[in-house]
Amino acid sequence: MCTLTHLVPPTCPPSNLHSTLFASPCFPAEAPDLLRFQVVLAGNAFFHIKEISTGHVRGFRSNHNEACALARALELRGRTV
């Protein structure tokens, strides 16, 4: 289960996590880079890594953590090209 706690920057105070996540006082003012890949549940314990812009499946994994790791790797590979 994803709790979004890994998205909070370390400079934010942990005492007010709800306002940190939704009001975003700690995030920089510039627009964040758009994500290119999304992990989508595709069956019983099976996940697709979908390219958001085209809708094409670029990979798959049977473990959610491995699927997220693959999505991150694809994101990084796309940014360095």
Which residue's structure tokens are 């920057």?
9
pTM: 0.57
Instruction: Give the E-state strand segments of 1-81 in sequence order.
Output: 37-43, 46-51, 57-61
Q: pLDDT > 90: what percent of the chain?
A: 47
pLDDT band (50, 70, 90) for residue 63: very high
Give the model's pLDDT for residue 32.
53
Burial class (CB in 10 A: 0-12, 13-18, 19+), 4: exposed
Give the model's pLDDT for residue 20.
46
